[in-house]
Amino acid sequence: MKNYIVGFPLKKPRSVKLWRNFFKKKKLYGFTMMPREIRPKEVKILVNEFIKDKNFLASAVTMPLKNKFKTYITYGNKLSQIAGSINLIVKIKKKLFGYNTDISAAIKSLPLTKKKKIMIFGLGGTGKPLAKVLSKKNKDGYCYCVSSKRHIDIKNKNLIIKKKIDNNVLKEIDIFINCSPLGSNLNKKFIRKSPLNMNQINLMKKKAFVFDIVYKPHNTLLKKQCEKNKIKYINGLRMNSLQAEEALNIVFKNIR
């Protein structure tokens, strides 16, 4: 059975190795996992291919395609529907179902309790759906989002979107989430950058929690800043592993 990870560009995605190891462990010798670079304009063609291919089973989906498939799939659960984007497609009886295991994995990585004040930096492929879900899940708190773009499709009374970080708000934040590529190796100009400067780090509460979806490289500038100020920091490696694990459980459940 054929399985893929689709996106553009793809730089040695971890999902390929994780899925292959899973198939080996479960002795699913007829299963393959391959990367495929697909541009957004090719999504419709790919959907038709998936439906027609009798050997296609599932596909992980990465940037910039996470919100491009929603026209062609049925959401597999409520969380994915609220998120409005997917990172997993599973074919069941010639029909495509979409899930967002990224968001469920991100939530499992966060110390969520009631009345949390959350700041999300970046409303891209992960940040936007995460903001939608957290604004509903964290009803007694609020979600302050930083994005240079307008997002008229996000409407929730406890979700605030601003173009820049308000330092007065930052002082009160319990959880800061970096959903931007700053600090990542996706581009050379990102590696030496951080969503926060050291003055802003100094403003944050000592009990604040910083969650960075970046996991390559491990030792980002944001991590160094947090360590210097003794603020708890985790990167996106655990989230990446959790989402792949959940995705495989969904796929395997449907083929047992």
Q: Which CA distances in Å does 162 have to 54, 123, 165, 173, 250?
A: 47, 11, 7, 15, 36
255: pLDDT strictly greater than 70:
no
Token pair of 250, please? 């969904």
182: pLDDT strictly greater than 90:
yes
With helix as H, strand as E and coil as C, how does 153-212 read?
CCCCCCEEEECCCCHHHHCCCCEEEECCCCCCCCCHHHHCCCCCCHHHHHHCCCCCEEEE
Domains in the chain: ranges and CATH: 2-100+239-255 (3.40.50.10860), 110-235 (3.40.50.720)
Average pLDDT, the chain: 91
Please return the burial class of 63, using the count of CB atoms within 10 Å of its CB with bins 0-12, 13-18 and 19+.
Answer: middle
* Spatial CA neighbour of 243 closest among 152, 157, 160, 126: 126
Which secondary-structure segment (H or E) carries 46? helix 43-52
pTM attached to this predicted model? 0.88
pLDDT tens for each residue of 231-254: 999 999 999 999 989 999 999 886
Overall average pLDDT of the 163-183 stretch: 95
* Spatial CA neighbour of 65 closest among 148, 16, 139, 8: 8
The answer to whether residues 103 and 135 touch, using CB atoms and an 8 Å cutoff, is no
- Chain-centroid distance, C-alpha 204: 24
- CA–CA dist 123, 2 (Å, integer): 32
158: pLDDT strictly greater than 80:
no
